[in-house]
Amino acid sequence: MPVSKKPGFKLNLEPPKKPSYSLNLDSKPVVQYSTTYREKELDEMTTYQLREICNKEKIIKGITNPLNRYELIETILRYRGEKETLLISKPKEGGFERIEELLKRKLGGQLKDEGTIRNPAKLIVYNDLDLTLYDRYQVEIDHQKRDDISKAVVNRLGESNVLLIGEGNELCGIFNLVSDGHEPPHFYLCKSADIPLRMQQHRHYSMIYFEKRDSDYIYNTYYDIEQQGIAALNYYKIPLADIEVREAEITEAILSIDFGTSNTAAGAYLDYGYVSRHNNHDISNRGIVLDQINIVNFLDNTKNEKIWSPLLPTVVSIQDCSDENNIVFQFGYDAQKANKVKYYDETFSVFFEIKRWINNYDALQEVTDKQGNIAMVKRSDIIGEYLRYVIRCAEQRFKCKFKTLHITSPVKQKRQFAQMFREVLPEYELETEHMLDEGTAVLYNTIANLIEKNKYYDGERLSALIIDCGGGTTDLSSCTFSIENDSVAYNVNIETTYENGDTNFGGNNITYRIMQYIKIIFATHYTEQKPVKIDELITVASEDIFRYVDEFGKEAVYEKLERAYEEAEQIIPTKFKNYENRTRDEYFMVKNNFYFLFDIADKMKKQFYMSEGVIRNRFQSNYEQEDDDLKITRIERWNLVVNEGGRLTYNHTFPDIIFNIKEIELLLKADIYEIVNKFLFDFYKEGILSDFSIIKLTGQSCRIDIFREALKEFIPGKNIEFKHHSNDSASIMELKLSCVKGAIQYINARKIGYTNVNLQYCMPMIPYSVTGFTHENKEKQLIYSLDQEQRYGFLSRNRGIRQLELLLKDGSGKLKFRYNYNNYERDYEPVTYEDIQEKYRDYADYIIQDDTDNINDTEVKFFIFAAKDQWGFFIVPISRQGTQLYLGREEFYGFENDIWEVDFFDGTR
């Protein structure tokens, strides 16, 4: 494929914005630069001025390399930048005393604000909880006044440190004034729980505000950072009517967490008595709603305008690992923001899909931070710290301390997740005995709504099929349930069975497929080739795709697209694992490509399927020229690396390309039909689909209409619970929140006694086979795929065997994994058959006496059987010496292993 020599970016010939200072013709700046620069200042400078800063500060990378304006700004910020507002939030020994001394020596005159600053009258502060934007203690700064004093206050008072002082100007506390990022900005009082209050024996307190320069001076004083002296700290003083300091109460309410592959949600039912003293400020602002389900909101600070979201990305990054015993993590939106702004020539660990670690959660994981430090940390510690962050957010929002948790899990790995949660959160009580799986939680949400709306027939037995397409996996569960209303309570009987699943299909598969198409289109654009059309990549007509997949398989539909994607790798490389032996710059440039394309593909997916009436989509840096059916996916900057004549070059020009919904639907149709067909074909063939009263689709990916279209191939006219709500954010969130809400409703029903829930799990269908070889090298099936009867077997070996190998195969007989059991004589203990029966009483039919009686002295018999409540199987070895039985070490093996699971972020795509 020929590659154009066209430059990677265009010269910006537009008049520059008004600079913040002037420059002499001899290139000597009039203003002496400080040692640090703020991003807003740099944004107002021309490329020439930015290069002058690199020369003055001796930033070699900015001098020697032909960087464009965006890269110059990032380079200066990296080496001389002051990107964050200097706010006191972490404790420093002696810091409080240093500010006290500073106030005694340097507190200057009180500035006039003429009523421009309006303080909250009363504050309720908890010693052990942060005060955040969520608490809505707004400091109103009047932007409407036009007098000189008011203008000065508005212009000079931004995000800064605020001091709480007593009537004698004694220091009592340190707060922060934080903006919500809106225009014009709204400012709120915040405070870290790590910075203690030192209250006095009186009730007369004031808040004193400082201009940015003086606030920075206070920050440096607190953290004992060397700085130039200051004449005096002038301030604005606003009195408080009252401040109340509390300790958060331990609540009997149970916090429910839906720990997802891509996003996590949490919430609790807060009745009137969940704490003895309510926070009336939060109740009046509806931050807490009594006698209702309350969902935890998380601060999305990835854009300038901060918003609250009920979903937290399941992402963890490493901020500092210089001390292996005190690693500093970032979670959710903070981790996303850190990953978004990091430079292409540096790396720090960012972990996605940590839920997939369930099969190997006790393994050690190497982590790195931005400074290049390396440490080893247990995966379980990373998961535990992420969940603790979710719990801390819940406690801050609801003003209490939780001691009991309920965390949903996939039905096929319920026991494994329960064990992991107990290990990573030992300080909490876990509702493991009544722990719901994700599918049943979703179903209970439906049952609770039927009871609330009185839309059920007393005692009627109904069947439901639940398809849950999450971020990384898709699961199929079936349930039968009935609702009876007796004189005391509702009796709800539920029997649930895991039917099928795909560990490697979810929302990320859909994002990746869109990314493939985007990459191909961009590759032809940057090489100035004739634009490729979707029907050249997917040659099957849309109306024929379902039949074509049935006849030839999904791979045949995507054959040309996959080939074109491999060719596009030569133009826009994304397989950064292949660049591990190349230069550092090349490796990170290619890694940047993958994450950049994956991110914009995900954004475009959400625009098409979660916005009303969007037919066309394009990428731009602003929202100009947006029509009714054309949605602009705003990208702050275009940052794509293109291979131009064998040299990787950054291209910062936005491609003038519009994508439409018909292209994306054709692109995804075979993928979605294939997963629906995989789940429902056997039900359809056996004629039992008509037995299901409810077909429920959950997960945000099920928002895509193709799911519903594919289901109609199997369920004509059925009551599919997938209603066409308007595509506003509230109805979209319901798809994800139905799981956590169902769990909360279930827990509350058990707590208050209005509903008696009888929940039974049936043995699941197993879409795998476990086999082994006899001593005659004949393969023997031990657990047979999708067979409810053959769930156990045994293999005999010579007693001196050191290792037993078993094979895991999928439904088509394809080898998925090899298990090796290490057999040691020291692990065997003498037992009776009665001991074995007692230990494995739930599996009494799998280890019968006839099979143990005929074990001879030279033999060890390995009993292999499927676990009833875990997604896997056990190996139990038994041997004999004379009349004495010996029981070996039991080992559990999961059916699915992270070694063969698809990882979209491993650098091979």
The residues near 865 (Cβ < 8 Å, ≥ 6 apart) are: 783, 791, 792, 793, 843, 846, 847, 873, 874, 876
Tokens of 537: 């990549």
pLDDT level of residue 775 (50, 70, 90 thresholds): confident
Averaged over 755-775, what is the pLDDT?
A: 83
Closest by CA to 670, choosing from 606, 713, 716, 723, is 713
Look at residue 641 and give its three-state secondary structure: strand
Helix (H) or strand (E) holding 392: helix 379-398
The number of beta carbons lying within 10 Å of the beta carbon of residue 316 is 22
| Higher pLDDT, residue 807 or 789 | 807
Q: What is the pLDDT of residue 786?
A: 57
**Residue 547: what pLDDT?**
93
- Between 656 and 24, the more confident residue is 656
Exposed, middle or buried by CB within 10 Å (0-12, 13-18, 19+), for 217? buried
d(CA 208, CA 113): 12
Q: How many residues does the chain have?
A: 909
286 Ramachandran zone, left/alpha/beta (phi>0; psi -120 to 50):
left
SS3 538: coil
- Residues 163, 96: contact at Cβ < 8 Å? no
Instruction: Pick the range with the lowest mean pLDDT from 25-29, 221-225, 317-321, 525-529.
Output: 25-29
- Label the pairing between strands 616-620 and 490-502: unpaired
Q: Give the residue among 801, 819, 795 at the shortest CA–CA distance from 895.
A: 819
For the chain, how far is it from start to end, CA to CA, in angstroms? 20
**Residue 143's pLDDT is what?**
56
Ranges 361-375, 617-631, 661-675, 865-879: which has the least confidence: 617-631
Condensed to tens digits (0 to 9), the pLDDT of residues 150-198 reads 556 656 678 899 999 998 889 999 999 999 988 778 899 999 999 999 9
pLDDT at 373 over 60: yes
| pLDDT confidence bin for 1, thresholds 50/70/90 | very low
Find tokens 């209409």 and name the residue: 705
Distances (CA, A) of 292 to 361, 408, 431, 489, 490: 35, 20, 21, 20, 19
Residue pLDDT, tens place only, 71-85: 788 788 777 776 567
Where is average pLDDT lowest: 283-297, 394-408, 677-691, 860-874?
677-691
Contacts of 168 (CB under 8 A, 6+ apart): none
What is the spatial distance between Cα 700 and Cα 677, in angstroms, rounded to a whole number? 20
Tell me the C-alpha distance between 435 and 320, whole Å.
Answer: 35
CA distances (Å), origin 641, targets 569, 617, 844? 11, 22, 62
pLDDT for position 25: 29
pLDDT of residue 41: 67
The secondary structure element, H or E, covering residue 680 is helix 661-686
Among the residue ranges 27-41, 154-168, 264-278, 304-318, the one predicted with the least confidence is 27-41
Q: Which residues contact 720 (CB under 8 A, 6 or more apart)?
A: 695, 696, 697, 708, 711
Radius of gyration for the chain, computed over Cα atoms and rounded to the nearest angstrom: 31
Q: Cβ contacts of residue 262 below 8 Å, gap of 6+?
A: 313, 314, 353, 470, 471, 472, 506, 507, 508
**In this predicted structure, what is the pLDDT of residue 338?**
81
Mean pLDDT of 237-251: 94
